[in-house]
Structure 1
Amino acid sequence: MPMDEEAVAAMYRDHGAALRRFARGAVGSEQQAEDIVQEAIIRVWKLAPETTVGLRAYLYRTVRNLIVDEYRHQARRPRVVDSLDDGFDRAYDAERIDVLLGRVVMEEALLRLTAEHRQALIALHYRRLSVAEAAEELGVPVGTVKSRCFYALKALRSTLEEMGVEP
């Protein structure tokens, strides 16, 4: 099947920036992130060129899989080991990459919330402020903090589902 360059370009235009941020947070390199995103978009288009429902989640899963594949590929390459690296543990590294990917996904999801919802959520769940402390810091009533946090969590769940994160 010949590649529909316009369809691929539209997919890249609509989803490329978010996917690059996601990949860059995991691989650390702008060029490597760009390569991964391009590969993911082409793969997804080849497998399902007419798909629009759930496309973003499918793209995120494909990017994540490519990141994991790249990590595994690099882990198989011969390495120069010095005396400090004798305790290298691949299981630990696999856990570390999963934690890193989780953080990147959460950061991307939080960026999609409104500023007010994000501030309330971060104050209560990340900084562990009480509702009263968060209300004072944000300059809003206690009920507003509770409401913002409720709707922020609801929006966050929806965003994470869209990104392909399963509960």
Structure 2
Amino acid sequence: MVQQCLQGDTHSYGQLYRRHQQRVRSILYQLCEPSSLDDLVQEVFLRAWKGLPKFRQTAKFSTWLYRIAWNLATDQRQASVQRRNQLQSLTEKSSTQQQALDLMDLHYQDLVQRGLANLSFDHRTILVLHDLEEVPQKEVAEILDIPLGTVKSRLFHARAGMRQFLQQQGVQL
């Protein structure tokens, strides 16, 4: 199908989109703000379409596509941190700021989402890709361009962090 896409066959690209869009959506949902999810999914596939001529035929298309999704999530996270830092510098650090953070916490009604939010971005990424999306560790290492040992270490620490959060919330494991 990739070869057909390279020859300009948009129907084949539509098939690739239908095959992979749910996994891309799921990965982005776990890593980014849900409010911009549709736009982010479209951006991943737009970047993939534009970058298809550079795709190495020796790699799996899904691995390459999930790497694009991860890169986009990383870009979004950095932009979000910059916006938050700018906002914090414009507002007073007072009890109203703490109340705003408390209201944001109420927004996350799903316990798993709240647990993921407490993890570092690296740990959350590993947990989402491996445990939630069931991407094999070796492929996670390829997507994130890190050694397999680092994947295993981060996965161990991410699970420990999630376990600790759930226990603090009163969940019996």
Q: Return the TM-score normalized by structure 1.
A: 0.45
Highest Rg: 1 or 2? 1
Q: Which has the higher contact order (CA 8 A, sep 6+)?
A: 1
Q: Return the TM-score normalized by structure 2.
A: 0.44
